[in-house]
Amino acid sequence: MNFDVLTLFPEMFDALNSSIIGRAKEKNLININLINIRDFSKDKHKKVDDTPYGGGAGMVMKPDCVYDAFCSIENKDNAKVIYMSPQGKKLDQKKVEELANEEHLIILCGHYEGIDQRVIDKIVDEEISIGDYVLTGGEIPAMVLIDSVARYNDGVIDRESIKEESFANGMLEYPQYTRPEVFEGVRVPEVLLSGHHENIEKWRREEAFRITNLKRPDLNKK
């Protein structure tokens, strides 16, 4: 799967070179192409933003730089263009699964007060928010989106963990334990040491249900 990211801060995406996503990139299971919008400034000072028409605080990203950066992306006829924004539909696991079926995502990250509306209207297919709070830019939301979607690509993580995890079955996960058997005087639940797979499965199902009711009753209602 291919991700193109339009951003003024490509170095922020170094965070995706570690751990599972870093390995997925090395194995070419996913490809993340970072496009620095500043490279498309026509200004001798590499200016990419300007003051807002109508006045007010902050700076707005210029539409021509964003558009030229977008136009530099090749083979984008079948790509879906996403703008990370608090105005978008809130990201959930269902949306993640839907996006994982795409072959090519182009993700636009705004910084400062945002991007001139005209280029958003021209190139964006869908706006997505990662939650109702205000961030300084769309880069961290873009990384949240890439991380959650990339996991669904074959070989990135093992298939069983996707099936078992929280939200996939609409519930939170059962608690996990590892060695030692006794930690600070607290024993691991006996059933997990029994080797009785049916009983273990039943216990985990019941724990998942109990914990979901306790912590996120809204999920069990769904």
Contact positions with ligand 4HQ (CB under 6 A) in 138-177: 138, 141
Interaction between residue 131 and ligand 4HQ (CB under 6 A): yes
Burial of 146: CB neighbours in 10 Å, binned 0-12, 13-18, 19+:
buried
| Number of residues near ligand 4HQ (by CB under 6 A) | 14
Beta-carbon contacts of 137 under 8 Å, excluding residues fewer than 6 positions away, are 8, 9, 109, 110, 111, 112
- Residue 12 CB, nearest approach to ligand 4HQ (Å): 13
Interaction between residue 7 and ligand 4HQ (CB under 6 A): no
Judged by CB under 6 A, the stretch of 23-31, 126-134, 151-159, 195-203 that binds ligand 4HQ is 126-134
Q: How far is CA 32 from CA 147, 168, 181, in A?
A: 11, 25, 42
Interaction between residue 85 and ligand 4HQ (CB under 6 A): yes
Judged by CB under 6 A, the stretch of 1-9, 128-136, 156-164, 174-182 that binds ligand 4HQ is 128-136
Interaction between residue 120 and ligand 4HQ (CB under 6 A): no
Placement of tokens 């069990």 in the chain: 220
Tokens found for residue 124: 């964006």
Interaction between residue 186 and ligand 4HQ (CB under 6 A): no
Contacts with ligand 4HQ by CB under 6 A lie at 84-86, 110, 114, 129-131, 133-135, 137-138, 141
